[in-house]
Amino acid sequence: MKQASFEKRHQSTWQRFARQLAALERGKLSGKDCETFASDYRQICQQQALAEARGYSNRLIERLQQLTLRGHQQFYRHRSHLRARLIAFLLGGLPQLVRSQWRFVLAAALCFYGGMLIMGLLVYLVPELVYSVMDPAQVQSMESMYDPDASRLGRFGERGSEQDWVMFGYYIMNNIGIAFQTFASGLLFGLGSLFFLLFNGLMIGAVSGHLSQIGYGEPFWSFVVGHGAFELNAIVLAGAAGLKLGWALLAAGRHTRSEALRLAAQPAIRLLSGAALFLLLAAFIEAYWSSMTYTGPAVKYAVGAGLWLLVLAYLGLAGRTTHAPD
C-alpha cells in the first residue's frame, strides 16, 4: 500500500486518538473521551510498525511514534490510577459502603443468621427435623465429612493435602455461584434474595444442629469458624445487594423503575464485588487452613475468633476518616 493511501485510510483514527490524548492530558476522563482509547492505542502501535517496515517517510513515522509514546504514558498512568482506586476501595470504600447501606445489610443478616440460629436450635432439640431440609444421603455425606476420625475435614471423600489447590478452586466456584444467585434473584422485587438468604441459613443451621447433636460438633465448628467470618458475611453482603435492587423496583419514588434500578445498580454491584473478595479469602482459608487435622481445635477457635473480630472491626471502623459513599 502506498503511503498516501495508508495515511488517507487511517487519518481519522489518528485524529481521534490525538483528541483523546489531549483530553487525558488535561485530566478530563469522560467515558466518551476514553471508550476507544485502548483499542486505538494498540492499532496505532501496529500501524507504526507497518510504517517502519514499509519504509514510509520519517515525517509519518515520527508522527506515529509521538502518538504511541504519549499513548503509552497515558495508558500506564491511568492503569496505576485504577490500582489506586482499587486499594482505596479495599481500605475504606467497601466498609463505608456497607455502613451507608446498613438497612439492607441488617435485613439480610437478620434473615440469614436468624434462620440459621432458629433451625440449628430446632434440629439440636428435635433431631428428626434435619430431614425436613436434607435427604438421608445428604445427611450421611455431612457426617462423613466431619467424622472426628477423618484425615482431612470438610471433604467429600479423602483427599491429600497436595490437592488443596483443587479444593480452593472448587470452593471459589461454589461460593461465588451461591452469592451471585442470591444477588441476581433480587430482581424479583427482592423476594428471590430473601428466599436464598433464608434457604441457605436454614441449611447451614440444620447441618450445624445435627452434627452438634451427634457429637461431631468439635470437628465441625473448628472447621467452619475460620473461613466462616468471610464466607457467611459475604452471603449477607450479596443478599443486601440483591435487596437493594429489589427495593429500587418496589419503591422507585419519582423515578421510573428502570431509572431507579440503574441508580441502585452501582452500589449493589460494589457490594457484590466486596462479597466476591470475601469469598476469595474464605476459599483460601478453607482449603489451606480449615481442613487441617494436625492443628488442635483450640488453635482454630482462637484464629477463628480473631478473624471474626477482624472482619467486624473492618466493616465497622475502616474508612471513618473520609466521606461515606452514597
Residue 292, phi then psi, degrees to nearest 5: -65, 140
Are 71 and 115 contained in the same domain?
Answer: no
Are 69 and 115 contained in the same domain?
Answer: no
* In-domain check, residue 326: no
* In-domain check, residue 229: yes
CB burial readout 181-207, b (16+ within 10 A) else e: ebbbbbbeebebbbebbbbbbbbbbbb
Which among 89, 110, 127 is the end of a domain?
89
Average pLDDT score, the chain: 85
Query: What residues contact 61, with CB distance under 8 A and at least 6 apart?
Result: 48, 51, 52
Number of domains in the chain: 2
Please give the C-alpha separations between residue 179 and each of 2, 64, 162, 206, in angstroms, as whole numbers. 56, 47, 28, 20
- pLDDT, tens digit (0-9, with 9 covering 90-100), for 18-39: 888 888 777 765 555 555 677 7
Which among 37, 69, 89 is the end of a domain?
89
Are 130 and 32 contained in the same domain?
Answer: no
In this prediction the pTM is: 0.70
Q: Is the dihedral of CA 7, 9, 13, 15 positive or negative?
A: positive
Are 14 and 49 contained in the same domain?
Answer: yes
Are 70 and 131 contained in the same domain?
Answer: no
Are 217 and 180 contained in the same domain?
Answer: yes
For each of the chain's 326 residues, which pLDDT tens digit applies? 789 888 888 888 888 888 888 887 777 655 555 556 777 888 888 888 888 888 889 888 888 888 888 888 776 665 545 566 778 788 888 999 999 999 999 999 999 999 999 999 999 999 999 999 899 998 998 888 888 876 566 554 444 444 555 666 667 788 888 899 999 999 999 999 999 999 999 999 999 999 999 999 898 999 899 999 999 999 999 999 999 999 999 998 888 989 899 889 989 999 999 999 999 999 889 888 877 777 888 999 999 999 999 999 999 998 876 444 44
* Structural domain containing residue 47: 3-89
Which among 41, 65, 89 is the end of a domain?
89
Are 263 and 134 contained in the same domain?
Answer: yes
